[in-house]
Structure 1
Amino acid sequence: MTGLRERKKAQTRQHLCAVATDLFVARGFDAVTIAEIAEAAEVSVNTVYNYFPAKEDLFLPWEHQVDRPSRRVRDRAPGESAAEALLRELRRDIADRRPWVGFMERGYDRFLRVVFGSPTLIARLQRMQHATAERLADTLREETGAAPDDPVPGLVAGLLTWLTGNVFRVAGDGAMAGDPADEIVRRMLHVIAEAEALLGDRVMGYARRPLTPGGAS
């Protein structure tokens, strides 16, 4: 059970993010200072930095997003490959309309306008995508026991990261165009289905977990 202190810290983080996001949407990311966020949230500047070492962390959180694909590969079911696990969970996220795939209460279009209006956030997003692919490659290498000079884990990670990015792009294009959520969902799922066929058996079957510990899949 989560303790009182942890709940209060989570509430403070959520409050700071909400206040900062409102300011970013209203004025643009680069125009807002940490001091202004602290004043609007009625906390000290040091409190903001204690929770978020960089201003970008308030709008584009790093660790959870970067580790999500790797975590899903590590948690894949017996008999399931890395790609199957990732795409299964991505389909579930889309069906459940999770915020990290583009279904935000505040509007994905507003989120994207803030990002595209800031060179700092664009650079951050690019670094996150690169870090996600690198971490996924490391995870695939560990899960398969691939040699350090084996290029396959990096190639598979790059392909799966590229696919995920394309699915997110569909969500962004739909949101910016003001399309209905149901239509955006349909397009995202269609992209996944088409990509599965293009990736082929080798990528789709890579890092398949054995059905029994130590056994064959």
Structure 2
Amino acid sequence: MPRTGERGGPQTRAKISQAATRLFLERGFDAVTVAEVAREAGVSSVTVFKHFPRKEDLLLDRQVDAADVLRSAVRDRAPGVDVLESLREATLRLLDERHGLSGVADGAIPFFRTVAASPALIARVREIGADLQRLLADELAGDRDFDDDGPLFAAFFIAGYATVLVQTASWLIDGGEPDVVAADHRERLERLFVALRSGVV
């Protein structure tokens, strides 16, 4: 029989994610096993892997959200708004909302410390970045504003955004005042979009 509360669905996934995040932030990613996460969440290890095929994704569980942001920026932009401006609006909106993808959300500091301490998590972050780059390039395929430069633009945008995030993470880990770091984060994002418009589009 399934253990208590072990039915599938978003609630089970959320419960597993919350348990895993709590353990990882307390003890470090590499020190916690999937079996311990399962025990903490009240499910089996099989159920954990049903929802999270990779251990790293128990903590790095925002890839679907990030993909949705990119797709929406390309597909759902208002008439007369180009992709670059739509991406700018989307990223600044994440920042204003202190969204989990923004880099300045509440709880970001222990999250960044945990990722920085684990080579496995760092490697997975890079894989996710490459996946998002391919997704954005695919979304831009055939867009007349880019001709054949969609893959190049996607590479520049994802690398640039990652660079801004890494710098923000570094300053927060080093004790930077969050509001000051967030303001600087905004300035660096704006410089990124100026550079992209001048150099690519």
Q: TM over 0.5, yes or no?
A: yes
Distance of 2:137 and 2:73 partners within structure 1: 13
Q: Choose between structure 1 and 2 for higher RCO, CA contacts under 8 A separated by at least 6 residues.
A: 1
Q: 1:202 to 1:104 in 2, by over 3 A?
A: closer
Report 1:1-217 matches (<5 A).
9-61=9-61, 62-105=63-106, 107-144=107-144, 150=148, 152-201=149-198, 203=200, 206=201
Quote the residue 1:5 is aligned against.
none
5+ residue gaps in structure 2? 1-7
Distance of 2:126 and 2:180 partners within structure 1: 27
Structure 1 stretch displaced more, 44-53 or 8-17:
8-17
Greater C-alpha radius of gyration? 1
Quote the residue 2:4 is aligned against.
none
SS of the residue corresponding to residue 30 of structure 1 reads helix
Quote the residue 1:212 is aligned against.
none
TM-aligned CA deviation for residue 169 of structure 1 = 2.2
TM-aligned CA deviation for residue 31 of structure 1 = 2.1
Distance of 1:23 and 1:201 partners within structure 2: 45
Distance of 2:199 and 2:190 partners within structure 1: 16
Distance of 1:173 and 1:112 partners within structure 2: 8
- What is the Cα-based RMSD across aligned positions, in Å? 2.1
Q: Is the 8 A contact 1:20 1:58 kept in 2?
A: yes
Q: Is the 8 A contact 2:13 2:51 kept in 1?
A: yes
5+ residue gaps in structure 1? 1-7, 207-217
Q: 1:198 to 1:24 in 2, by over 3 A?
A: same
TM-aligned CA deviation for residue 145 of structure 1 = 9.0
Which residue type is aligned with residue 133 of structure 1? Q
Q: 1:118 to 1:200 in 2, by over 3 A?
A: same
Distance of 1:199 and 1:118 partners within structure 2: 31
Quote the residue 1:209 is aligned against.
none
Q: Is the 8 A contact 2:19 2:40 kept in 1?
A: yes
Q: 1:193 to 1:65 in 2, by over 3 A?
A: closer
Among all aligned residue pairs of Structure 1 and Structure 2, give the percentage whose two residues are the same amino acid. Answer: 33
TM-aligned CA deviation for residue 11 of structure 1 = 2.1
Aligned length: 193
Distance of 1:15 and 1:117 partners within structure 2: 24
Distance of 1:172 and 1:53 partners within structure 2: 26
Distance of 1:115 and 1:201 partners within structure 2: 33
